[in-house]
Structure 1
Amino acid sequence: MSSALIIIDLIEEIVGEHGRSNSSHQQVQARRLIPLTNQAVAFARRHHVPVIWVKVGFADDYHDIPPYSPLFNLAKKNGALRLSDSGCQWVKDLDVQPEDEVVIKKAISAFAGNNLYDWLTGRGYDHILLGGVSSLMAIQSTARQAHDLGFKVTVLEDLCAAASPELHQQSMQSLTPLAEITTSMQWQEHSAS
């Protein structure tokens, strides 16, 4: 089984202190998501597991948003999530390296509006490890779609956050029939053995 690590939406607009869509900001801080993510991606690189950073973002005129989405039409109204703005930059202190893959998504799932599926399958990756925000939206949506596309899915729950601990836990529980729920440390210990 060949694995890839996918980290979703750790951008200023969504997890930064002053982001316009940052309902998970406090939980990202409380759960130490950025340092834990950096540790996990460093481990992945050392073990030749590709690191794929996925972020949502749109053109300045928003011609590429899902047209009937209340969520993304609110972002348009607020002027949020434009790829040309600083809000779509990776959050401070996140260890994104030039050798990593960066994918832009056009909706909630990491697979929305891009070639991520083709990139993974074309290189023989059949197991995805997920982290990022929010547990309720992007992690659930991506895990469900990945499951249906035929991937083995592992959610690194300590690398995920939602607006509240309760929403995070509910999200993890709802994914247990579709994915392995574990922690980044357990994954690292298992992979190293």
Structure 2
Amino acid sequence: MSWKNSFRSIYYEGAPEPADLDLGWKETALLVIDVQNTYLARPDRATLTPDEQRRYDAWTPFHSRMRDTVIPRTADLLARFRRHGIECLFARIACHTKDGRDRSLSQKMPGWNNLLLPKDEAPSQLVPELAPAGDEIVVTKTTDSALTGTNLRLILHNLGIKNVVCAGIFTDQCVSSTVRSLADESYNVVVVEDCCAAGSDELHRKELEIINMIYCHVMSSAELIAMMRL
């Protein structure tokens, strides 16, 4: 199966295959979303309670996917884009205040999304393997969408970008929110399936099915590399 007929929801069953995409290098940017230290940190399992160990084990497939697939393939894409002078941009979640009083409501809610990531502290930094190089642009947000919560819209306009290739985490949260915002602004959006991850493979695949063909085109890194001749 190719990107033209994979990840289809009921809305697009039987729809014609999309045409090949024209992703000119000067009008295309790679946006890496929220691959930050906090999401890759893990405690020593042996120090956890049985209930904490259960939750730890539930997240092991995510960490394996990040280590074995998402980070190395995103690093490869970054290297290819950089070699051809294609814009690479980054988004990260970080608040400007120590106590997080500037965060959006969704990041103050109790539970997993209660994120306190002061901008200068280690947990909020991008992982070293995907660190920006030279003068590559990083936007900081306290929202899910990298477009809504920053001046990214203006930056993309000033750079002359029409096509945005998205990678990062989490597929069903910040990646999806960013993709929808970009689509609403009439950007052509590509989501690189093997450069993204959600808390579970089921959530990852379902969200790709939801956003594919209406807000973006979903494809593998190999398909993108072939299409753009990188």
Q: Give the counterpart of 2:62 among 15, 27, 43.
A: 27
What code does the residue aligned with 2:184 have? D
User: In structure 2, what is the equivalent of residue 49 of structure 1?
Assistant: 86
Q: Which residue of 2 aligns with 1:126?
A: 162
Q: Identity rate of aligned residues, in percent?
A: 25
The answer to whether the aligner puts 1:10 opposite 2:35 as a matched pair is: yes
Aligned to 1:135: 171
Q: Counterpart of 1:146? A: 182
Q: 2:71 touches 2:129 (CA, 8 Å); kept in 1?
A: yes
Deviation of the 1:79 alpha carbon: 7.0
Q: Does 1:159 align with 2:191?
A: no
Number of equivalent positions? 188
Aligned residue type for 1:146: L
Counterpart CA distance in 1 for 2:110 and 2:222 is: 37
For structure 1, the 5+ residue unaligned runs are none
Structure 1 stretch displaced more, 2-11 or 84-93: 84-93
Q: Does the 8 A contact of 1:6 with 1:131 survive in 2?
A: yes
Partner of 1:185: 222
- Find the counterpart in structure 2 of residue 39 from structure 1: 76
Contact persistence 1:12–1:90 (CA under 8 A): yes
The CA distance in 2 between the partners of 1:92 and 1:25, in whole Å, is: 21
The alignment's C-alpha RMSD in Å is 2.4
Q: 1:10 to 1:164 in 2, by over 3 A?
A: same
Render the CA deviation track for 1:73-121: whole Å, top value 9, x for unaligned: 448x977312122101122433431232111112101113311000001
In structure 2, relative to structure 1, the CA distance for the partners of 1:17 and 1:93 (3 Å cut) is: farther
Q: Residue type matched to 1:56 in 2?
A: I
Q: Note the C-alpha offset of 1:29.
A: 2.7
Q: Which residue of the partner structure matches residue 102 of structure 2?
A: 64
Are the equivalent residues in 2 in contact too, given 1:24–1:161 (CA < 8 A)?
no
> Higher mean Cα deviation, 91-100 or 177-186?
91-100
Whole-angstrom CA distance in 2 between matches of 1:93 and 1:158: 16
- Structure 2: runs of 5 or more not aligned: 1-23, 44-55
Q: How many Å separate the matches in 2 of 1:191 and 1:29?
A: 28
* Structure-1-length-normalised TM-score: 0.87
Following the alignment from structure 1 to structure 2, what is the Cα–Cα distance between the partners of residues 129 and 148? 15
